[in-house]
Structures are given as structure tokens and as C-alpha cells.
Amino acid sequence: MLSLKKIVFYLVALLLLVGCGGPGIDRADSLVVIDAGHGGEDCGALCGGRQEKDLVLQITKKLQKEFKRKGYRVYLTRSNDRFLKLGERTRIADKKDAKVFISIHANAIANRERFDIVEGVETYFLQKTRDAKSQRIAARENQAVLQGTDELSKNVIIDAVLNGPKIIQSHKLAIDVQGNIMKHLRNDYKDAKNGGVRPAPFYVLVGASRPSILVEVGYITNSKERERLFTSKYQKHIAKGIVEGVGRYIDNRKREVGF
């Protein structure tokens, strides 16, 4: 006879096993494409003698290592200092049939008086928005990728994918990633600011026919954050948080629909 205590114990154990994903989930079939923003002639944000393009490449390499350690397959859109044209980045993700696409960036603001006030980590997914802050950040990140593309093409490109079916999945992925980044960062940086998950019209995410997010890992214009951003410790927390967030997302999808 099973006592009520035992039944409860087995139920909890079963729930825990299902909830944690268990060792049964095979990750070798999950390819993750990581996109280090900017590169080559496009330096991204510049401040205090530091360049966004260098920072995001460092973080991307840590991400590659961490994803591989956890059993995922990884592909980088760039593994050195080179420029990629609009569309090339997400086209790689499509060609490789990636499960998710993650673009890594660092944030910046224009107003010098607010350099040391504005800080935090933010994760974006593609969507048109009226939010002025998201629009400003998207405009800055879009600048270089859109060089040589006329206004009409830009609008056609973005309209074609807005409201697409991937938006809900991208939103879910963004929530898992942002939450896990903050969890890891706060182990060492109690004051790390959670900038949250936001929708924004980033062109690098346009054309991605899979769940895609853009992570702004911190503000290069904020002196406290800039110092942290270039340390191995901060970068490792970011990498671990992203990998855990992606893992959570992929495991959940697999359970739902054999994703």
C-alpha cells in the first residue's frame, strides 16, 4: 500500500524531473546562431576609448564556449573584425536552420549629461513600437546595416515580417534570456539594473524566420558599466545567463510541440 506521503513524494519527484528537463533532452540537434553586432568599418558605439564591436565579439566567443559546453551546436555570423551587410546575418541563421538567433550589442546614449545615469541590460524582440526609447536605440543600431538601402525597401522589408508568427516565440525567448542574465549578474553585481524585455524594430532581426532576439548587454556610455562590460567576470555572467535562458526556452518548446 502506498501511503499518502509516498504518493505526494513521487508526484513531486515526477514534477521536478519534468520541470528540470532532465538529462533526456538531446541538445545536439539544436543549432544556435550568435551574431556579434557591427564589425569592420562599423565600430558601433564608442566611448572612453572602447568600441562596441570589440566588446560584443568577446562576449560572443564566451557564448560559443558556454553553448558548446552544454552540448549545443553553435554558429557565429562573424568570428573576427569584419563587416556584414544587411540580411547576411539572419540569412546565415536561415541557411543553417538555426533554432534561435541571438544578436549581441552594447547600448549607448547621446546625451552626455545622462551618461552616468542611464544603465542596465535590455533584451529586444522585433516589433513596431511607439515607445520613444526603443525607437531611438533601434535607430542607432540600424544605422550601419541599412547603408545603401532606400527608404521604400526598408519599409517593405520590415512590413513583411512584422506581426509574423515568430513574434510570440521571440517574445518568450527574450523573457527567458533577460531573466537568466539578471539572475547571473546579480551574483556579483547586486546593483545591476534590469532594463527589461522590449519590442523594437531592429533591422538585424528582420527577415529572421525563427525566434530572434537582440541583447543590449549594458551601456558603454555609463562609466561604471563600461568598466564592468570589459571584464571577464561580467562577460561570463552574461554568457551563462543567455545560455541558460535559451536552454529553458528550447526545452519548453520541445515539450510543447516537438520543436
Q: For binding to Zn ion (CB under 5 A), which residues are involved? A: 37, 44, 105, 141
Shortest distance (Å) from residue 130 CB to Zn ion? 22
Q: How many angstroms separate the Cα of 105 from the Cα of each of 2, 59, 200?
A: 55, 9, 14
Residue least distant from Zn ion (Cβ) = 105
Shortest distance (Å) from residue 255 CB to Zn ion? 34
Q: Specify the DSSP class assigned to residue 222.
A: S
Cβ closer to Zn ion: 51 or 209? 51
Shortest distance (Å) from residue 105 CB to Zn ion? 3
Shortest distance (Å) from residue 81 CB to Zn ion? 14
Residue type, 142: N
Cβ closer to Zn ion: 105 or 198? 105
Cβ closer to Zn ion: 37 or 241? 37
Residues 6+ apart with CB under 8 A from 170: 125, 126, 205, 211, 212, 213
Shortest distance (Å) from residue 204 CB to Zn ion? 9
Cβ closer to Zn ion: 52 or 66? 52
Shortest distance (Å) from residue 179 CB to Zn ion? 22
Q: Rounded CA gap, 246 and 180, in Å?
A: 9
Cβ closer to Zn ion: 43 or 157? 43
- Beta-sheet strands, E only, within the chain: 31-36, 46-47, 50-51, 73-76, 100-107, 121-126, 194-200, 212-219
Q: Rounded CA gap, 204 and 90, in Å?
A: 7
Q: Is the separation of the CB atoms in 179 and 186 below 8 Å?
A: no
Q: Is the separation of the CB atoms in 108 and 140 below 8 Å?
A: yes
Cβ closer to Zn ion: 199 or 247? 199
Shortest distance (Å) from residue 30 CB to Zn ion? 26
Q: How many angstroms separate the Cα of 186 from the Cα of each of 190, 192, 221, 238, 244?
A: 5, 6, 21, 11, 15
Per the DSSP assignment, residues forming a β-bridge with 46 are 51
Cβ closer to Zn ion: 54 or 94? 54
